[in-house]
């Protein structure tokens, strides 16, 4: 009897051992899909609510493209970016260090122009390639030098034309900013108030640099107020600061540094007793080196002592912004003209 009862108990235990895993397997088969569905719902809900609370862009703003503003060179790209804030995609056709006057647009440049909403150029004949560049673009074009009182080129093949380097005067730089504000407000009226506010703040910073520049240049003695450069790109600055200007050539072009130009500048440097001559970052200093050697004047061609005009430097260079360009050039000019001859 006892043996029989033992066998029945053992059978019941075996049955339980057999049934339990089967039930677990069945439960897994039935419950797992349900749990997966619930998990998917929770994940989707989290993504939606998370996006709307600032984690990632909300579905309302997803795919919203910023208007594209294309500028012809890095200086005005930086000026435009200060006004645009985060509302516009501001790009430059040319890269830092590029020579702007005779730039050759690439097929990619042409494509970018076709897709732009607005194109900002300097005007005054600076971008001699520009008309070809925008031939197939439907973007609105705005010349930032509009409203500037132009200075005529006094000699050379472009004699009688406007000197295009108007942005080198901080006073003119503020006119550029006003033109940028108007252009952006027409392009994107929803943010017009912000563009105006950004523009006014930026102009105040430019004026501060202008005051610093004027103070520094005013300390130069009367006999050291002649600025000698490779290109005649400082006419507007010289007018503001009451400096005399001498240059090898008026505008960057093919005929640069001819023997006649070098001989003329050598004579003027000797006559004025100029202690230092300068060259710009985007041109070959070879002709000015001849002037320095013939007259015993100082000339430094490293990045920290060259003048910058047509292009900003890379971000880690001496002039990554328009304001830094103005400060750098003023410092280099004052230091150079305050020296004795080498």
At 72-109, the pLDDT tens digits run: 999 999 999 999 999 999 999 989 887 777 788 788 88
- Chain segment 207-243, per-residue pLDDT in tens: 999 998 888 888 888 778 999 999 999 999 999 999 9
Reference 237, options 305, 170, 161; nearest CA is 170
Give the alpha-carbon dihedral of 219, 337, 206, 184, to 10 degrees. 150
- Chain segment 271-298, per-residue pLDDT in tens: 999 999 999 998 999 999 999 999 999 9
CA-to-CA dists, residue 140 to 70, 111, 116, 159, 279, angstroms: 10, 15, 9, 30, 35
**CB-based contact 110:159 (threshold 8 Å):** no
Domains of the chain (ranges plus CATH)?
68-205 (3.40.50.1980), 214-337 (3.40.50.1980)
More confident: 124 or 113: 124
Query: Would the pLDDT of 10 be above 60?
Result: no
- Signed CA dihedral, 31, 34, 36, 39: sign only: negative
Name the DSSP class of 116. -
Q: Identify the residue whose tokens are 């051992």.
A: 17
Reference 150, options 140, 161, 158, 141; nearest CA is 161
Burial 263-297 (b: 16+ CB within 10 A, else e): ebbbebbeeeebbbbbbbbbbebebbbbbbeebeb
Q: Specify the pTM.
A: 0.79
**CB-based contact 269:292 (threshold 8 Å):** no
**CB-based contact 52:46 (threshold 8 Å):** no
Round to whole Å and give the CA distance between 201 and 221.
34
**CB-based contact 206:323 (threshold 8 Å):** yes
């Amino acid at each position: 009897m006892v043996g029989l009862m033992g066998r029945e108990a053992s059978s019941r235990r075996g049955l339980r051992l057999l049934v339990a895993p089967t039930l677990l397997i069945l439960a897994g088969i039935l419950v797992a899909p349900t749990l997966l569905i619930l998990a998917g719902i929770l994940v989707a809900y989290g993504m939606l609510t998370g996006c709307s609370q600032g984690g990632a862009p909300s579905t309302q703003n997803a795919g919203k493209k910023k208007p594209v503003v294309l500028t012809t060179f890095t200086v005005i790209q930086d000026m435009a970016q200060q006004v645009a804030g985060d509302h516009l995609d501001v790009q430059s056709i040319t890269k830092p260090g590029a020579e702007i006057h005779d730039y050759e647009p690439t097929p990619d440049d042409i494509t970018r122009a076709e897709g732009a909403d607005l194109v900002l150029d300097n005007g005054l004949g600076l971008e001699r390639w520009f008309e070809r560049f925008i031939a197939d673009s439907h973007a609105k074009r705005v010349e930032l030098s509009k409203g500037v009182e132009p200075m005529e080129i006094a000699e050379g093949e472009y004699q009688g034309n406007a000197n295009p380097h108007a942005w080198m005067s901080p006073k003119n730089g503020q006119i550029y900013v006003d033109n940028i504000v108007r252009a952006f407000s027409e392009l994107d009226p929803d943010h017009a108030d912000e563009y105006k506010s950004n523009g006014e703040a930026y102009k105040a910073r430019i004026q501060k640099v202008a005051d610093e520049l004027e103070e520094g240049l005013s300390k130069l003695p009367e006999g050291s107020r002649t600025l000698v450069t490779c290109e005649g790109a400082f006419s507007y600055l010289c007018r503001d600061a009451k400096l005399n200007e001498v240059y090898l050539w008026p505008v960057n072009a093919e005929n640069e540094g001819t023997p006649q130009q070098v001989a003329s500048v050598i004579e003027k440097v000797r006559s004025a007793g100029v202690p230092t001559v300068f060259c710009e970052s985007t041109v070959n200093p070879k002709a000015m080196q001849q002037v320095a050697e013939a007259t015993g004047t100082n000339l430094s061609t490293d990045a920290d002592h060259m003048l910058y005009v047509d292009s900003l430097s890379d971000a880690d260079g001496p002039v990554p912004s328009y304001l830094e360009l103005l400060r750098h050039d003023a410092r280099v000019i004052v230091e150079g003209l305050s020296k004795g001859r080498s």
